[in-house]
Amino acid sequence: MSTTTPSELDGLVQSAHTAYREASAVAPTVRAGWLTAIADALDGAADELVPLAQEETHLPGPRLRGELTRTTFQLRLLGEEIAAGHHLEATIDHADPDWGMGPRPDLRRVNVPLGVVGVFGASNFPFAFSVLGGDSASALAAGCAVVHKIHEAHQRLGTRTAEIVVAALAGTSAPKGLFAAVTGRQAGEALVDHPLVRAIGFTGSTRVGMLLSERAAARPEPIPFFGELGSTNPVFVTRRAWEERSEEIISGYAASLTLGMGQFCTKPGLLFVPELDDSARTALEETFSAAPRFEMLSERLAEGYGSAVATVAATDGVETLIDGEHGPAPAPSLLLTGADEVRANPELLSTEMFGPAGLVIQYGEEDRLPELAALLDGQLTATIHGESGERPAELVDLLVAKAGRVLWNGWPTGVTVSYAQQHGGPHPATTAPGTTSVGTAAIRRFLRPVAFQDFPTEALPAALREENSWGIARRVDGRWQPR
Amino acid sequence: MSTTTPSELDGLVQSAHTAYREASAVAPTVRAGWLTAIADALDGAADELVPLAQEETHLPGPRLRGELTRTTFQLRLLGEEIAAGHHLEATIDHADPDWGMGPRPDLRRVNVPLGVVGVFGASNFPFAFSVLGGDSASALAAGCAVVHKIHEAHQRLGTRTAEIVVAALAGTSAPKGLFAAVTGRQAGEALVDHPLVRAIGFTGSTRVGMLLSERAAARPEPIPFFGELGSTNPVFVTRRAWEERSEEIISGYAASLTLGMGQFCTKPGLLFVPELDDSARTALEETFSAAPRFEMLSERLAEGYGSAVATVAATDGVETLIDGEHGPAPAPSLLLTGADEVRANPELLSTEMFGPAGLVIQYGEEDRLPELAALLDGQLTATIHGESGERPAELVDLLVAKAGRVLWNGWPTGVTVSYAQQHGGPHPATTAPGTTSVGTAAIRRFLRPVAFQDFPTEALPAALREENSWGIARRVDGRWQPR
């Protein structure tokens, strides 16, 4: 498969920049139409794309169909969101001679798109976090142009998806070049370096993410880098919950951990239980052995997985409870350790085994949980299983300080796309804990606020003109005026 | 003056962390009361603080009184803002079995404070961007604890202000240690490095800002760095405006440029005019020579200013129009160049002369303005002076892409504190173009969103419980419910 040359990359970024400038004043409803057109085209191409994805990723067909549904649902939801103008956060302060600190000029703020955004997709979600996944969809919704670096693990699918997206946009009023895709590592690096690229969206490994993040920071003009990197997604089970329903918890845990061969950034990699008796061990072995197996996303990933599991297994005080085979389609593995071992080797809590493996920690006394939770790095998710009436406030507070999403009696895989979703978290979960990469709020990261002082009405952006011809929600003199 | 030792610094950060955790669930109205108590105490101490500030900064008394008013107004306005709960962006998605992409769990998101924030104040605003300036006020409003590094240029004032703030908080329900101040460069560096410090707010030079920003990024766990660095704040005058009212523009320009001895991050450093005839030169000389003079903030700053002016003046094609003396209280300087010279040496547009000096650029043909504007770095502000009916759309678009605030027929000094204010901009104006350091929106940078999935009501934060006992504005199932 051919890779993008530096001059091709430059041409695509230049066109994307021109397109972004042409499109930046378009009404949100028009832009929403572009997102819908892409969604319709992708839905229409499902019978072509899903088999292609299956071939390249080895993921099951039904899962891929579900993922495509999620992807197009997301495009339409983001379209509705921008049509209502929420993302603009339009704010109008009329001139006020009596303002408390001295006369106030007429000041109006609106969020404007950053410009061309470079998006790096993930291998594990060939639709939802790839060509037209969350980052691309929210950058386009924000009014940015997108140049997407296709993941080498599904290059044919990526190329075909990009063609469909470009064709769909060509059937709308969107300016040519608003979306483009590139291939090859060199093009990816050039994308981060290009002066007209104004932000990067990335989903992938901590290693590559940090390399690219440092690259973005080392530019003559550093740009925002929104990276979703690694997470071990701890699950804490209270003693009462473990006593009441360990079987149910074990079966839920195994299902969430082995889903999609454990190739999820939200895979529950750590399970904290008071202790593991023989019957629990047997239940774990049974449920794990029943998990469906298929080939992992790529050979390289399977190798990295095998070596991560071996590293954790070789740590002092770690016992191998279930020894999954390694190789292209490994059986699930489960490792076991205790609270003291974790205190002695806290890196056990941060080593992501990207695949169907987990580490169970026997914590013993429940009052040790906060101390163990305090050893965690930043996380995408953290989960508590407790019984009705239990309220482990200290543990919750600690997890809120560490994670982007906290769950009660649930499992972290399956990240709904909605208004309240938060997919993010402190380093190393992400490089930008104040933002999300899933949900309607994801649009905001590709925008920045600009204030207009004493501007004549005709020179103001439509969102800030008195007449509000777009009919969007705005804040006027401190009061929100819903749509 | 004594400096903070490493172990003292550690103790203060530890206490601040404990205080933040204790205070994190406090109702916003209670926290607003703390801000008001600080504002009252600072207002009450004006007669003590203003003379102290005058002594250390050489700034005029009335200006300092105005700045203190601004500072306490800001505290009260941020208090009102959090009492209404806007900063929490509380969002509730009830469980929905019919959600388009598949059943949706109950998901609720709220913004939580980052933790302990390290704040570095600026020398040029000893109240408004110092001990309890914008960053400290918005971090406290967000629910964070603050450890402030006092600027060495006003160490006695800073120390005294910090004492007053600590005493004011002691008279409220705020936990001990929520605010603390430290002195000395070593303490400043240790503050950036401390594992319990979760974000940095900084206002100052590009050089120091970039050093600290890189330091924050090089931590084992990098943290957000919100730095307001440098800006040359270009002003573009259309040919018609220059023909109609060059005198008025010259007097406004001189007043804004020489205000406070030009020691403002929003000083209009660049003035683009079609050409400068003899009468305009004379008018500039007259208004500049009439500007009040006083000693600059510090000797070091005066030296840096002198050398920046000398560098610009020595550039090929730059003429010295008004040769201000250098030294502790320099007279204003004005340099002159042309469009071709700027194209040949674009660094002329980015060299900040922090003091009473400006560079006038004769642009000749108006259609060259966009090309010149395209050479600009990121800016805090950009200004256009035009006549009624003029609409230089291309220029406006370019400036919107470069600056955080664009002004029409105004001057950039004087940054009001309000809902629509945006004080920020792309690098090098700031390190975080998606945020502001002035106005109610500044609170948001010290928060990050957390989603709660399927949490029992009693374990949810008050902001997200069904009953809305805080009576705050929330978004429920996609619809905003204003307060």
Q: Tell me which chain A residues have a C-beta less than 8 angstroms from the C-beta of B480.
A: 86, 473, 480, 482-483
User: Beta B145-149 vs B179-182: how paired, if at all?
Assistant: parallel
For testing contact with chain A, the best of B24, B109, B210 (most A CBs within 10 A) = B109
CA angle A21, A204, A217 (to 5 degrees): 55
Residues of chain B with CATH 3.40.309.10: 234-408
Question: Contact, B4 vs B184, CB < 8 A?
Answer: yes
Residues of chain A with CATH 3.40.605.10: 6-229+431-481
The closest CB to that of A416, out of B76, B92, B107, belongs to B107
| Mean pLDDT of the region B243-264 | 96
Which ipTM value was assigned to this complex? 0.97
A56, A67, A81, A228: which is the annotated catalytic residue? Answer: A228
| Mean pLDDT of the region B127-140 | 98
Mean pLDDT of chain A: 96
Which pLDDT value is given to residue A1?
A: 60
Instruction: Quickly state the pLDDT bin for A482 (edges 50, 70, 90).
Output: confident
Residue B351 has pLDDT above 80, yes or no: yes
Question: Contact, A260 vs A58, CB < 8 A?
Answer: no
Q: Tell me which chain B residues have a C-beta less than 8 angstroms from the C-beta of A224.
A: 432-434
Which pLDDT value is given to residue A374?
A: 96
For testing contact with chain A, the best of B24, B107, B430 (most A CBs within 10 A) = B107
Sign of the C-alpha dihedral computed for residues A436, A440, A446 and A451 taken in this order: negative
Which pLDDT value is given to residue A325?
A: 78
The closest CB to that of B453, out of A69, A74, A408, belongs to A408
In angstroms, rounded to a whole number, what is the distance separating the alpha carbons of residues B207 and B230? Answer: 9
Contact criterion met (CB < 8 Å) for A408 and B459: yes
Span A229-249, pLDDT tens digits: 989 999 999 999 999 999 999
Residue A418 has pLDDT above 90, yes or no: yes
Contact criterion met (CB < 8 Å) for B418 and A104: yes
Instruction: Quickly state the pLDDT bin for A88 (edges 50, 70, 90).
Output: very high
For testing contact with chain B, the best of A71, A72, A109, A483 (most B CBs within 10 A) = A109
Total-model pTM: 0.97
What residues pair up with B337 in beta bridges, in sequence order? B361
Contact criterion met (CB < 8 Å) for A482 and B477: no
The correct answer on CATH 3.40.605.10 for the domain covering A6-229+431-481 is yes
Which pLDDT value is given to residue B1?
A: 60
| Mean pLDDT of the region A65-69 | 97
A319 is catalytic: no
Q: Tell me which chain B residues have a C-beta less than 8 angstroms from the C-beta of A418.
A: 93, 99, 104, 107
B144 is catalytic: no
Contact criterion met (CB < 8 Å) for B403 and A433: no
Instruction: Quickly state the pLDDT bin for A2 (edges 50, 70, 90).
Output: confident
Closest residue in A to B71 (Cα) is A101
The closest CB to that of B449, out of A217, A436, A475, belongs to A436
Distance from CA of B356 to the nearest CA of A (A): 24
| Mean pLDDT of the region B265-278 | 97
Span A376-386, pLDDT tens digits: 999 999 999 99
Contact criterion met (CB < 8 Å) for B109 and A421: yes
Question: Contact, A80 vs A317, CB < 8 A?
Answer: no
Which pLDDT value is given to residue B327?
A: 86
Which pLDDT value is given to residue A348?
A: 97
The correct answer on CATH 2.160.20.10 for the domain covering B234-408 is no
Q: Tell me which chain B residues have a C-beta less than 8 angstroms from the C-beta of A370.
A: none
Span A161-189, pLDDT tens digits: 999 999 999 999 999 999 999 999 999 99
Q: Tell me which chain A residues have a C-beta less than 8 angstroms from the C-beta of B391.
A: 456, 458-459
Contact criterion met (CB < 8 Å) for A406 and B436: no
Distance from CA of A2 to the nearest CA of B (A): 34
